[in-house]
A and B are shown apart, each in its own frame.
Chain A
Amino acid sequence: MVARSAITDFVEVRSASKAFDTPEGGTVQALDQVSLSVRDNEFLTLLGPSGCGKTTLLRTISGFEQLDEGEILIDGQFVSNVPPNHRPVNTVFQNYALFPHMSVDHNVGYSLDVAAVEKKERDRRVAKALEVVGLSGLSQRRPRQLSGGQQQRVALARAIINQPKLLLLDEPLSALDRNLRQSMRLELKNLQHELGISFIFVTHDQEEALTMSNRIVVMDEGRIQQVGTPTEVYDHPDNSFVAHFLGESNLLPGQVHSQDHSGTRIKTDSGLIITVRHCDARVGSRVTVMIRPEHLQLAATPSSTASIKDQPALQISGTLQQTMFVGSDFQLIFELSGGGVMRASVRDTERASISALVDGQDIKFTYSPLMPHVISEP
């Protein structure tokens, strides 16, 4: 058995802060006391809306931005004074940044050419890198003669040819069309696994983050909102921002009403009583209840009665406002009697019961008390 070393941190970011001047004369805090570590052989995603600081964080690791405060260690070395060309990381840029005046071969071999690697060795490694990304045979093309997906692969080959221990990817899939983006997700994930190196992947696409990552770092306004595995951040968001940003969610602010052996009852501001099995908040404290639309089931349909038998499922009722077909399921938007709007998603298999619904009619949903997640408010 090979003694695989315990999980180690290849990159460590310690209380990093960075502010930018805005053209209007103000400043914007792109990074605010960010601490983070990236483990060996990990697919880590920085997820957040545009302007949340995720790209800035990536650029401080690659060396293109200097921190105002804090420090970064790569492979145990402080790198604050190390210029980008001496850092053991490589980047896949958002628009690939392929050199337009060079062939694919010279783009991919660029880092070997500037390091004056011996020609035979260079050619061997270029061929290998092109093979890894599936582009053998196109080495004499210019970047503009390639499709978007092929350009993406050239950028990847160019970045991995030096066998960096860490690859930084700045929204690499955002310029591709939807189908290609989905197949590239899988390929990127496989590539990371094959190479056995860490990827830091920046994206604003939650689906990308959820499907590819070992861990997701959710960022907003220069701060880390939550770090966790995809299921952790999706099922147990630490705050309303994370709940809102990842997937669809109904967020109901309210107060813990009572607690007993069957669960905790929370009274929402709209007057609804939600029962949850797991809740750490004390009676009387302010909380936000998150219920995912897919956890609401249309009452009195055959498939939902089955679940009611096992679980003392509870009900939420309202007036149907709108029904939307979104492909894999239907989105039902309904208004609560106490005010406020909620969203439920019902699977396409229940099309029969949905087609019977008319806008404006009363409607009932059930939920399992295991499903709602309670977010304690600070």
Chain B
Amino acid sequence: MSTPKSRARKQLTILLGPVTLFLGIFFAGPLGIMLVFSLLEPGLYGGVEWNFYHWNYGRLLGWADGLIEEFDPIYLQVFGRSFRLALITVALSLIICYPAAYWVSRSPDKWKGFCIFLITLPFFASLIVRLYAWLLILRPTGFLNHVLTSLGLVAEPLDLLFSRTAVLIGMVYIFVPFMFLPIYASIEKLDMSLVEASKDLGASTFQTFRRIIVPLTLPGIVGGSIIVFIPSLGNFIVPDLLGGAKVVMIGNLIEQQFLYARNWPFGAALSMLLMAAVLVFLLVYITSVSRQQASETIRA
């Protein structure tokens, strides 16, 4: 005999069991390994020695004294550079996507589907191939410079490739769809009669945007920003291909530690620090957004 309570528990097990198992093995497991490795001594030829070793963090954060490991501020600078790049990527893709998503969500249904299709079209080709295409566009003899010089806008071809600008262009290009979709979803849900009510009550277009449209589409903005921010922070392919060897981001650094320097513990420590930084950053971001939203309504 099964009581309703035990039946509910069984249902819950069936529904949540697979995902728990999957995340337990493939998410929490590797994370645990990384955490442990980041506190172990690097092996001479890769791998780890099973000794407690906090110098991996000391090397990053400054308590390494140069005897065993050496503190180098360059790592923190790379962190700062990566954060800045990720933030600019978020800002630019937001500026590009918001008006576009607004326009698409207000167009006739048959256009909406087509526009969404266009937005997702890049996913049909491999990321590497698409980035190589940008290589061809941005190089001194490439498409962009060809157009600019033949229009007489620039005398000399611009040296865009292998620069921070090229990396930024590539990043924004990759992440625009990820920003577009959540914003589109939230604007699509926006009740247009609220916009009309705002105008009816004397608000200008800008006031309506600031007081009604932005607060009500905030979930989409926050969601899109997070979805773009996190992967762009750790991205190493774009700086690799479009930045040449000149632009090192935190992602490249971690990649190098694992694949070339074969210092797994230090790579793991870098990853842990990155994760901690992202968590703190998001916590601050989300609480400040929700506080702002609350103050919007309580504001006296």
Contact = CB atoms under 8 A, between A and B. Distances in A.
A196 interface: no
Interface stretch (A6-14, A83-91, A213-221, A297-305): A83-91
Interface string A28-66: 000000000000000000000000000000000011100
A89 B196 CA distance: 13
Interface in B187-213: 191, 193-194, 196-204, 207, 211-212
A162 B150 CA distance: 59
A180 interface: no
Contacts of B193: 93-95, 97
Interface string B129-146: 000000000000000000
Interface in A61-115: 62-64, 83-86, 89-91, 93-95, 97-103, 106, 110-111, 113-115
A86 B207 CA distance: 14
* 8 closest Cβ pairs, A-B complex: A111-B201, A97-B197, A97-B193, A114-B203, A84-B199, A85-B199, A91-B200, A111-B202
Interface string A122-138: 00000000000000000
A83 B194 contact: no
B6 interface: no
Contacts of B201: 85, 90, 110-111, 114, 158-159, 162
B293 interface: yes
Interface in B121-179: none
Nearest to B191: A97
B202 A114 contact: yes
Contact of A85 (B202, B212, B215, B300): B202
B216 interface: yes
A102 B194 CA distance: 12
A83 B199 contact: yes
B51 interface: no
B203 A101 contact: no
Contacts of A91: 196-197, 200
A97 to B, nearest CB: 4
Interface of B: 191, 193-194, 196-204, 207, 211-212, 215-216, 293, 296-300
Contacts of B297: 101-103, 106, 142
Nearest to A168: B200
Given A99-B198, A101-B297, 5 more contacts: A85-B199, A85-B202, A90-B201, A106-B297, A114-B207
Given A85-B202, A85-B204, A90-B201, A99 B196 contact: no
A110 B203 contact: yes
A114 B200 contact: no
B283 to A, nearest CB: 23
Given A99-B212, A102-B297, A114-B207, A84 B194 contact: no
Contacts of A99: 194, 197-198, 212
A110 B198 contact: yes
Q: Among B199, B200, B212, B298, which residue has the most Cβ atoms of chain A within 10 A? A: B200
A98 B198 CA distance: 9
Contacts of B199: 63-64, 83-85
Contacts of B293: 101
Given A101-B216, A103-B297, A115 B196 contact: no
Contacts of B216: 100-101
Contacts of A63: 199
Contact of A97 (B196, B204, B207, B298): B196
Nearest to B110: A23
Nearest to A158: B201
A158 B201 CA distance: 8
B202 A93 contact: no
A104 to B, nearest CB: 11
B200 to A, nearest CB: 5
- Point out which of B202, B212, B216 has the most chain A C-beta atoms below 10 A from its C-beta: B202
B202 A162 contact: yes
A99 B191 CA distance: 10
Nearest to A170: B193
Contacts of B204: 85, 114
B9 to A, nearest CB: 33
Nearest to A102: B297
Contact of B194 (A62, A86, A97, A106): A97
B137 to A, nearest CB: 40
Contacts of B191: 97
B211 A93 contact: no
Contacts of A84: 196, 199-200
A115 to B, nearest CB: 6
15 contacts: A83-B199, A84-B196, A84-B199, A84-B200, A85-B201, A89-B200, A93-B193, A99-B194, A100-B194, A102-B296, A103-B297, A110-B203, A114-B201, A114-B202, A158-B201
Nearest to B298: A103
Contacts of A142: 297
A159 B299 CA distance: 21
B300 to A, nearest CB: 8
Contacts of A162: 201-202
B196 A93 contact: yes
A162 B197 CA distance: 14
Nearest to B212: A99
A239 B201 CA distance: 39
Contacts of B299: 106
Nearest to A115: B202
A100 B293 CA distance: 12
B210 to A, nearest CB: 10
B196 A101 contact: no
